[in-house]
Homo-oligomer: A and B are copies of this chain.
Amino acid sequence: MTSIREVAKLAGVSPATVSRVMNGTANVNEEKKKRVEAAIKETGFQPNELARALYKKSSKMIGMIVPDIENPFFSELAKAVEDTAYQNGYRILLCSSGGDEEKEAVNIQMFNQLRVDGIVVMTNCAETGKVLADCPIPVVLVDRKLDGFKENAFIESDNYRGGFMAAEYLAKCGCKNIVCMKEPNGYSSGRRRYEGYLDVCKNYNLKEQSVDCRYNYESGLRAAEEILKKYPEVDGVVAGNDIVAMSVYKVFTRHGKKIPQEVQLVGFDDVGFGELFIPELTTIHQPIKEMGHLAAEIILKAVNGEPYEKKNVFDVKLIERETTKSNRNL
């Protein structure tokens, strides 16, 4: 590989001059500049990004931690962050942690040492908050708040409102036994949705009925079986997300429960992929793309010293499709 010294020698200038030409950091006489550019071209010299990052302020890289890339909510989010970053000349270092605290810590350490310009994190690992607290670079949390950690910015959708709307819609569609699938690990998103559900139970004088369920389909399949055993009277389900709602549909249908005739079902997220499912899911729409774009924009603003909102809450909306009866005639 060509070194900066060889370029300098060929151009008859000092290595520092080559560096100045490449970085545009100081004026270099026009004739020398041309010689350097010719020498760079002739040797095929590529500046070593590592060496450059040691001296330059920005590495033009953003680190990103997602808990589970197989969940379409996160793969869509990651794609949106990447789109905006890439359009602005930034690259993404993506880590799918599987919720493993050690893996998150190792990756954040790597991001730090590679001098990324900022980190976008979706996690609920308390230990990760401690690791992030030592980061001298901007951190944007998306979807999940971390107790005790002071992020630079936080982006979420209105999860309380989402949980409330899902449960209230079921109540308005005539459900008397609404079961909420509750995220068991205390994620802020799940907690807020559950609070929304609880308030609907109070308002409509319904019994609180819930099962624990993580945000993946394996957990959804198990939890759906549990609902049928624990609450045989169930006539409405607030699912943790769309994937979980599909799991409920599968298990209930296999047990002969008709959806929406006997049990009505509302998902969460409105992932693009849901379009394939029959029947189409009634769900709570989160503006996934906008959330991802904003995460990247905030890192860019932070890098450039521009002001940005610290707390960003997006509106959600209920999308009526085929897993609920219409409430139009109620």
Contact = CB atoms under 8 A, between A and B. Distances in A.
Interface of A: 1, 46, 48-51, 53-54, 61, 69-70, 72, 75-76, 78-79, 82, 86, 91-96, 98, 103, 106-107, 109-110, 113-115, 136, 217, 221, 243, 246-247, 249-250, 253, 272-273, 275-278
Given A46-B113, A75-B75, A250-B277, 16 more contacts: A1-B136, A48-B113, A50-B53, A50-B54, A61-B110, A69-B78, A69-B79, A70-B72, A91-B107, A91-B110, A93-B94, A94-B95, A249-B278, A250-B275, A253-B278, A278-B278
Contacts of A86: 103
B50 A275 contact: no
Contacts of A113: 46, 48-50
Nearest to A72: B70
A295 to B, nearest CB: 16
B217 A276 contact: yes
Contacts of A106: 91
Nearest to A271: B70
A79 B70 contact: yes
A96 B78 contact: yes
Contacts of A51: 54
Which residue of A51, A96, A98 has the most chain B CB atoms within 10 A of its CB atom?
Answer: A96
B115 A50 contact: yes
A223 to B, nearest CB: 13
A230 B119 CA distance: 50
A82 B70 contact: no
Contacts of A95: 91-92, 94
A97 to B, nearest CB: 10
Contact of A114 (B49, B96, B249, B250): B49
Contacts of A114: 49-50, 114
14 contacts: A49-B110, A50-B50, A69-B79, A70-B76, A70-B79, A70-B273, A75-B75, A93-B93, A94-B96, A114-B114, A221-B275, A246-B276, A247-B276, A250-B276
A202 to B, nearest CB: 33
